[in-house]
């Protein structure tokens, strides 16, 4: 074989092998975030986006596999075979969320859009709130809400959504996920995205009353904002989902009314529907679910259990009565407002067992309750606004609100 031919073959082999390795690196990173458990808050957020946008990792893995096979045929036997094997494994790992998403979408009857796949996260929006209003002053604390109005207001009074942000009861602020507010206004709802008092110190006796106070404020000012007081829904995510459920379920319940009175002078605080995105129903049950060894310090001392401790002021062993009183499941009964609960099946912060158990109890009680589990999704999956999980959640929420508070 001529020297020039051998040289060109060697260069081609090295080039294709380099391409394979370069493509395999991002594929390995995405696959690792999908497969391996996370041990810190940063890795949790990265894992959320890796699962929701795993198709990008799959494309990289496919390119790496193809290039490695070419390198193998060009003579890079050991390196080519090893790279091809790793890339093929990554391809399988990154396709699992995509395949699972399509399975769940077929089960739910929701069409998935690849055209909508690549969108900015839910923490961004094309607009801001129309107004910021003080809805209560408690001691030296001023509680604010952002008003998001539809761009094309209806001639008649329309529906409203009181939105409660997440943040494990210790952090977060109103309108921290503005894309949800923007989307809800696009469907004809006026959105009131509220602040509430955060822990520490323990605010389990205060935050639910703040949410009820906000609902009462919206009802009192309904006509002013073009809202039908009989068409108000509560919606929240994570800790906000818990508070939304608690405020909705305790209104009209004698025990709940006494435990969590509105934190301001107000009248009726009832709502027509409630939506919870991965919010806990039973705080003690969720606390007692096994914390995996790889995340023990993070979930026990920082996030997760640590924030429940800040919210309640102690562990279930010491504050069992408080945990029961502060759990929406305590007030679950036949006449609670129609409820939609959406949960990620791979949520390692708020385990799906809690939501599944609540769904069973709601069915037994005869409550109007729909539980939707998105199998591959993790906690806060909807931050990836274009991801398949967020697409399914929007379809479910849109259908639910159309039937309960008659949004557009």
Residues catalogued as catalytic? 238, 347, 379
State which H helix or E strand residue 279 sits in.
Answer: none
Cβ density class 281-318: b for 16+ within 10 Å, e for less: bbbbbbbeeebeeebeebbeeebbbbbbbbbbbeebee
* Bridge partners (DSSP) listed for residue 134: 144
Do residues 145 and 193 lie in contact, with contact meaning Cβ atoms separated by under 8 Å?
yes
* 284 neighbors 311 (Cβ within 8 angstroms): no
Tell me which residue of 295, 248, 301 sits closest to 276, measured CA to CA. Answer: 248
Q: What is the 8-class DSSP label of residue 201? A: S
Q: Which of 98, 118, 117, 94 is nearest to 29 (CA)?
A: 94
Across 29-174, the runs of DSSP E, i.e. the strands, are 131-138, 141-148, 158-164
Dihedral angle sign, alpha carbons of residues 97, 99, 104, 109 = positive
Identify whether the C-beta of residue 355 lies closer than 8 Å to the C-beta of residue 327: no
- Residue appearing with tokens 């991965």: 278
CB 258 within 8 A of CB 252: no
- The tokens for 93 are 């790992």
Query: 219 and 159 in contact (C-beta within 8 Å)?
Result: no
Question: Which residues contact residue 239 at a Cβ distance below 8 angstroms, ignoring those fewer than 6 apart?
Answer: 166, 167, 168, 169, 172, 279, 307, 311
Element (H, E) at 365: helix 352-365
- Please state whether beta strands 190-194 and 141-148 pair in parallel, antiparallel, or not at all (unpaired): antiparallel
Residue written as tokens 């990173």? 29
Q: Which residue has the tokens 């206004």?
A: 185
Whether residue 200 has a cis bond before it, omega within 30° of 0: yes
Angle, helices 388-404/41-52, rounded to nearest 10 degrees: 80
């Amino acid at each position: 074989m001529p020297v020039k031919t051998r040289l060109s073959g060697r260069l081609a082999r090295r080039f294709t092998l380099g391409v394979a390795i370069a493509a395999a690196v991002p594929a390995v990173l995405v696959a690792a975030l999908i497969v391996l458990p996370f041990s810190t808050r940063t890795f949790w957020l990265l894992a959320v986006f890796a699962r929701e946008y795993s198709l990008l990792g799959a494309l990289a893995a496919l390119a790496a596999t193809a290039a490695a096979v070419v390198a193998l045929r060009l003579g890079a036997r050991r390196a080519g075979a090893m790279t091809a094997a790793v890339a093929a494994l990554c391809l399988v790992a990154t396709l699992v969320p995509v395949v699972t998403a399509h399975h769940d979408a077929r089960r739910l009857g929701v069409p998935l859009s690849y055209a909508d796949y690549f969108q900015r996260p839910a923490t961004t929006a094309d607009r801001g709130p129309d107004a910021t209003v003080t809805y209560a002053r408690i001691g030296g604390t001023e509680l604010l809400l952002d008003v998001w109005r539809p761009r094309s207001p209806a001639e008649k009074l329309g529906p409203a959504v009181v939105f409660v942000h997440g943040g494990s009861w210790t952090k977060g602020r109103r309108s921290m996920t503005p894309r949800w507010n923007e989307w809800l206004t696009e469907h004809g709802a006026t959105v009131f995205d509220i602040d509430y008092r955060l822990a520490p110190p323990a605010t389990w006796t205060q935050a639910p009353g703040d949410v009820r106070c906000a609902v009462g404020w919206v009802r009192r000012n309904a006509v002013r904002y073009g809202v039908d007081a009989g068409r108000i829904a509560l919606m929240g995510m994570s800790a906000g989902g818990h508070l939304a459920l608690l405020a909705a379920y305790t209104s009209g319940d004698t025990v709940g009314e006494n435990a969590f009175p509105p934190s301001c002078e107000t009248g009726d605080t009832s709502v027509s529907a409630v939506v919870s995105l991965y919010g806990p129903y039973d705080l003690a049950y969720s606390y007692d679910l096994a914390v995996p060894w790889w995340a023990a310090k993070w979930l026990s001392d920082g996030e997760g259990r640590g924030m429940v401790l800040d919210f309640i002021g102690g562990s279930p062993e010491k504050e069992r009565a408080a945990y029961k009183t502060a759990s929406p499941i305590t007030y679950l009964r036949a006449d609670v407002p129609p409820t939609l609960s959406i949960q990620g099946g791979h949520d390692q912060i708020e385990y799906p067992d809690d939501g599944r158990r609540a769904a069973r109890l709601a069915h037994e009680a005869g409550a109007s309750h729909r539980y939707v589990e998105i199998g591959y999704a993790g906690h806060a999956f909807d931050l990836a606004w274009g991801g398949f999980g967020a697409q399914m959640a929007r379809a479910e929420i849109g259908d639910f609100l159309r039937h309960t508070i008659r949004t557009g």
